[in-house]
Amino acid sequence: MALRDKNRRAMPTSRVLLSALALALPAVLIGSGPAAAAAWPTPAGQKAVPTTIKVSGVVDGKMVRHYGSGDLGSGGQDEGQGPLFELADGATLKNVILGSPAADGIHCKGTCTLQNVWWEDVGEDAATFKGTSASQTMTIDGGGARKASDKVFQHNGPGTMVIKNFQVNDFGKLYRSCGNCSKQYQRHVVIQNVTVTAPGKSLAGINSNYGDTARLSAVTIVGDSSRNIVPCERYKGVTSGEPTKLGSGPDPTHCLYSASSITYK
The string of pLDDT tens digits covering residues 152-187 is 999 999 999 999 999 999 999 999 999 999 999 999
Phi-psi region of 226 (alpha: psi -120 to 50; beta: other; left: phi over 0): alpha
**Residue percentage of the chain with pLDDT more than 90:** 79
How far does the chain reach from its first CA to its final CA, in angstroms?
Answer: 44
Choice between 145 and 32, residue whose per-residue pLDDT is larger: 145
Question: Rounded to whole angstroms, how far apart are CA atoms 78 and 245?
Answer: 23
Strands (E), 69-136: 85-87, 91-98, 106-108, 112-119, 127-129
User: What is the pLDDT at residue 79?
Assistant: 62
Q: What is the pLDDT of residue 78?
A: 60
Q: Is-contact 138 108, C-beta < 8 A?
A: yes
Q: What is this structure's pTM?
A: 0.85
Q: What is the mean pLDDT of residues 243-248?
A: 98
Determine the average pLDDT of the residues in 42-56.
96
The pairing of beta strand 159-177 with beta strand 137-141: parallel
In degrees, rounded to 5, the angle at the alpha carbon of residue 157 between the alpha carbons of residues 229 and 83 is: 80
pLDDT band at 8 (very low <50, low <70, confident <90, very high): very low
CB 156 within 8 A of CB 135: no
Distance CA 230, CA 213 (A): 15
Q: Is 210 helix (H, G, I), strand (E, B) or coil?
A: helix
Comparing CA positions, the residue from 238, 239, 237, 232 lying closest to residue 253 is 232
Residue range 204-218, pLDDT digits in tens: 999 999 999 999 999
Of 107, 136, 130, 139, residue with least CA distance to 183: 130
- In the Cβ-directed half-sphere of 198, how many Cα atoms lie within 13 Å? 13
Cis? peptide before 41, omega within 30° of 0: no
Per-residue model confidence (pLDDT) at position 213:
98
